[in-house]
Amino acid sequence: MTAIADAPQTSDASQKNAAPRARRGAGRFLLPMWAALVFVFLFLPILVIIAYSFNVGRLLVSWDHFGFESFLAIVEKPAIRDAVLVSVRTGLLAALLATALGTLAGIAMARNPGKWVWWFLGLLLLVSVTPEIVDAVALLPWLVFLGQDVGIGLFNDGTMRLVVGQSLFSIAIVSYIVRARLVGLDARLEEASADLYAPPVRTFLKVTLPLAMPAVLAGFLLSFTLSLDNTVVSAFVQVSGTTPWPVYVLSALRSGLRPEIAAVSTIMLVLTLLALALVAVVLKRAGDSATEIARTMAGG
């Protein structure tokens, strides 16, 4: 009788256990499929642009045949060549400016904690989340005022305008990254340097800056990639003769996309990926784990 009574209970228990197993089995199938669809949605357009950069034809959307003529056009057409050179030059200068100012701000926040840090972080966050169109509209009259009304000719230069406009957002990013790096390190090394009567400048150059150098290099490379991609602010502050590549692409849309635009976009993509790979390598060589690398690059 006992065996007969226990049989239905065993059957019910097995049915209850089978339901979660079935759900877990469906989850193991559906989640990877959903992740694959998300990746396809995100990266398929990029792969299409890369493929069409090797298209030899008059228009980008019409495939003719495979070739490298679109890459040769980058060198042969002065307008494209000048736009690319302007983007690279201003990107490097903006990255240098953002790295210098952001590094000092990050070190100050990490080594001089207090209520002011949270206020300053709030201001940096405000810079980070403000729409670019707002920054552009606010920055243009200010540059015109400094260049024409005050008479500071430096702000009438197109390259200087682009450097200032492109470095605004990057300064906040570098500050986050450097602060995140130093907060996680032991400050007693700097205290030991001070105990050995090293001057503050020597302590900064020999101890603090080497400790922060991986984050400084990462911030520089990220700033460079962000500057290459800056479109809205650059479109507002640029002057004749200093048109960067993203703005050139926008103006070229009026006459239709051509394969050489895809070719330059492919080169820019490769530069961006190389910069991000260098960021990961620099932080990895500094001894950071994968989690710490992600945390540092995110500014947290």
pLDDT tens digits, 206-215: 888 888 888 8
The residues, any chain, with a CB within 8 Å of residue 237's CB and separated by 6 or more, are: 136, 139, 140, 143, 161, 162, 164, 165
Residue 87 burial (CB count, 10 A) = 26
Judging by beta carbons within 10 Å of its beta carbon (0-12, 13-18, 19+), is residue 120 exposed, middle or buried?
Answer: middle
pLDDT reading at 108 higher than 60: yes
pLDDT of residue 99: 93
Of 68-72, 141-145, 147-151, the range with the highest mean pLDDT is 141-145
User: Which range in 92-101, 124-133, 138-147, 188-197 is most confidently predicted, on average pLDDT?
Assistant: 92-101
pLDDT confidence of residue 17 = 55
In this prediction, residue 93 carries a pLDDT of: 94
pLDDT score for 151:
79
Residue 81 exposed, middle or buried by CB count within 10 Å (0-12, 13-18, 19+): middle
**Domain locations in the chain as residue ranges:** 2-52, 77-297
Q: Name which of 205, 180, 175 is nearest 98 in CA terms.
A: 175
CA torsion, ordered 139, 141, 142, 143, to nearest 10 deg:
90
What is d(CA 249, CA 102) in angstroms, rounded to the nearest whole number? Answer: 30
Q: Which CATH architecture has domain 77-297?
A: Orthogonal Bundle (1.10)
What is the length of the chain? 300
pTM: 0.77
When pLDDT is averaged across residues 182-205 and rounded to a whole number, the result is 77
Q: State residue 295's pLDDT score.
A: 63
Q: Which residues of 251-260 are buried (b: 16+ CB within 10 A; e: fewer)?
A: ebeeeebbbb
Q: Spell out the residues 6+ positions from residue 201 whose beta carbon is closer than 8 angstroms to its own.
A: none
- What pLDDT score was predicted for residue 10? 52
Query: C-alpha distances in angstroms, 219 versus 89, 173, 232, 266, 278?
Result: 17, 7, 22, 23, 11
Question: Which candidate, 157, 153, 159, places its Cα nearest to that of 93?
Answer: 159
What letter represents residue 206's amino acid?
A: K
pLDDT averaged over the chain?
79
Of 159, 165, 169, 148, nearest to 236 by C-alpha is 165
What is the percent of the chain where pLDDT is above 90?
5
- Average pLDDT for 29-34: 81
3-state DSSP call for residue 10? helix
Bigger pLDDT: 61 or 273? 273
Of the listed ranges 61-65, 106-110, 252-256, 293-297, the least confidently predicted one is 293-297
